[in-house]
Structure 1
Amino acid sequence: MSIDAAAKFDPSRAAEYETQSRIALAGYDACHELAACMLAATLGAGSSARILVAGAGGTAREVISVARLEPSWSFVAVDPSKPMLDLAMSRIAAAGLTERTEPVLGVVADLPEDQPFEAATLIGVLHHLPGHEAKQTILGDIAARLKTDAPLILAGNHHAYASQPLMMAAWAQRWRMHGATPAEIEIKLGKILQAADPPQSEAAVFALLAAAGFKKPLRFFSSLFWGAWIAFRA
Structure 2
Amino acid sequence: MKSSSTQTAEKFDTSRANEYAQQSRIALAGYDACHDLAACMLAANLGNTPSANVLAVGAGGTAREIIAMAKLEPNWRFMAVDPSAPMLEAATQQLQANDLLDRTDVHLGPVEDLPADESFDAATLIGVLHHLPGDDAKRELLRSVRARLKPGAPLIVAGNHYAYASQPLLLAAWGQRWRQHGASPDEVKIKLGKILQGADPPHSEAAVQTLLHDCGFTDATRFFSSLFWGAWLTCKTG
TM > 0.5 between the two? yes
Structure 2 counterpart of 1:7? 10
What residue number does 1:121 align with? 124
Q: Which residue of 2 aligns with 1:226?
A: 229
Equivalent residue letter for 2:167? Q
Which residue does the alignment assign to 1:187? 190
Residues 46, 72 of structure 1: 8 Å contact kept: no
Say which is worse superposed, 36-45 or 20-29, in terms of deviation. 36-45
Q: Distance in 2 between matches of 1:8 and 1:113?
A: 27
Alignment of 1:35-46 (within 5 A): 35-45=38-48
What code does the residue aligned with 2:165 have? A
Q: Residue 28 of structure 1 aligns with which residue?
A: 31
Superposed CA offset, 1:154-175 (max 9, x none): 0000000010000011111110
Q: Distance in 2 between matches of 1:218 and 1:39?
A: 12
The answer to whether residue 69 in structure 2 is matched with residue 82 in structure 1 is no
TM-superposed CA distance for 1:95, in Å, is 0.2
SS in 2 for 1:214: coil
Using structure 1 for the length normalisation, give the TM-score: 0.98
User: How high is the sequence identity, in percent, across the aligned residues?
Assistant: 65
Give the TM-score normalised by structure 2. Answer: 0.96
Secondary structure of the residue aligned to 2:197 is helix
Shift of residue 144, structure 1, vs aligned partner = 0.6
**CA root-mean-square deviation:** 1.1
- Counterpart amino acid of 1:165? P
Mapped to 1, the partners of 2:189 and 2:87 lie a distance apart of 26
Is residue 158 of structure 1 aligned with residue 161 of structure 2? yes
Runs of 4+ in 1 over 6 A off after TM superposition: none
| 1:106-145 matched pairs, under 5 angstroms | 106-145=109-148
Determine the structure 2 residue equivalent to 1:196. 199
> Deviation at 1:47?
2.1
Gaps of 5+ in 2: none
The Cα shift of 1:131 comes to 1.1
Deviation, structure 1 residue 108: 0.8
